Amino acid sequence: MLLKKLISFEHWKSWLWSFVRFILILGLAFVILYPILQKVSTAIKHKSDLYSPIVVWIPQTFSLDNFTQVIQIMDYWETLFNTFTLSSVTTILTAFSCALAGYGFARLKFKGSKILFAGVILTILVPPTTILIPMYMNLKDFTLLGIIPLLTGKSVNLLNSYWPFILTSITANSLKAGLYIFIFNQFFRGVPKEVEEAAYIDGAGIGKTYWSIMLPNASPAIITVVLFSFVWQWNDSFYTTTYLTSSKVIATQLSSLPYNLSMNLQDGVASKADPFYQSMVQDTGILLAILPLIIIYLFVQRYFVESIERTGIVG
């Protein structure tokens, strides 16, 4: 009798906890999803539904007008292609160079490598705004230590090209690259020393050990870095709007979207545009910009936790 009561009390407690947990998670998930749902609902509305008092979430007349408008104004397909290329190229180069540096710092210690690693930490901690202006000036008159003026007679302007991104990613100094080096460093430090020694005894040099043993086994770290680097590059507006002012990538197109909208929606007379309608098309634009990411995310989200867990950041 007593035992039964105890069991039922425990049972009751765990049931209550699941209920509270369910409510909490549902509520917070709603908070996260709310803006997205709102955008979806706004995007599929027709213009006439905007002022209709009975329409809150589900539109009265469905229409894809907003989408056609935005696709045309943003030059969506070209923009998408450009952004995709830019993000993939920087991601691959960054992962490659950061893995190299991470391995060098973790396993191939040389005189002064500790001091240089402090430099990596410094790149993480210094706000990018601090070095933005000199970087800008540097890229505007890019001389590469005076080599380029020697060959062509004058410096080159690297702004508005992909070169700033390529150069910084080859040299592992792109957006948040310090963090990626740190991740790789932590991972390679966790690999047992015996693996390296065994490879050496079997006749593999350092380069061969790295390429055929270390790198293939580093897939958790590589996945983590690739995922984050791709997403952050895609969303980055800080560097992208500074280096690329007229190229068509998502970040620049989104930040100039409000202006383009007001010019386009009302035959070039900005003051005539209805701000409410403009906001509606703008929301559709944001939705279209993040849609590819969400689709990719649906397929790769399970790797997020799994790979972070195995990179050893936490160990």
Partner 1 sequence: MINKMMKLKKRRTYAQQKEIMGFLYVLPWLLGFIFFFLVPLITSLRYSFSSIETNAEGLSLSFIGLQNYIEAILVNTSFNRILTESVIDMIINVPLIVIFSLFLAVLLNQKFIGRSIARAVFFLPVILASGVILTLESTSLIQAVNEQNAGSTGMLNAFSSFELQMIMLEAGVDESIVNYLTGAVDRIYEIVSMSGVQILIFLAGIQTISPQLYEASKIEGATGYESFWKITFPMVSPLILVNVVYTVIDSFSRNALTDLIRETGFTKFNFGLSSAMAWIYFICIAIILAISTYFISKRVFYYE
Verify binding: residue 150, partner 1, rule CB under 8 A: no
The length of the chain in residues reads 315
Long-range contacts of 229-232 (CB under 8 A, 24+ apart): 229/90, 229/91, 229/94, 229/95, 229/174, 229/175, 229/176, 229/180, 230/87, 230/88, 230/91, 231/293, 232/175, 232/176
Q: Which of the residues 61 through 90 are near partner 1 (CB under 8 A)?
A: none
Q: If you search the block for the tokens 């790295």, which residue do you land on?
A: 210
The nearest distance, CB 78 to partner 1, in angstroms, is 18
Q: Please give the structure tokens belonging to residue 260.
A: 């383009």
Among 104, 162, 165, 183, binds partner 1 (CB under 8 A): 104
Nearer Cβ to partner 1, position 38 or 48?
38
Under the binding rule (CB under 8 A), the answer on residue 268 touching partner 1 is no
Footprint of partner 1 on residues 23-42 (CB under 8 A)?
A: 24-25, 28-29, 31-36, 38, 42
Enumerate residues 175-214 that contact partner 1 by CB under 8 A: 181, 200, 205-207, 210
Which one of residues 105, 165, 187, 243 is an interface residue with partner 1 (CB under 8 A)?
A: 105
The DSSP letter of residue 191 is S
Residue 110 beta carbon to partner 1: minimum distance, rounded to whole angstroms: 4
Binding mask 219-258 for partner 1 (x = CB under 8 A): ------------xx--xxxx--xx--------x--xx-xx
Residue closer to partner 1 by CB (options 71, 167) is: 167
Please give the Cα distance from 302 to 280 (Å, whole number). Answer: 33
116 HSE (CA, 13 A, CB side): 13
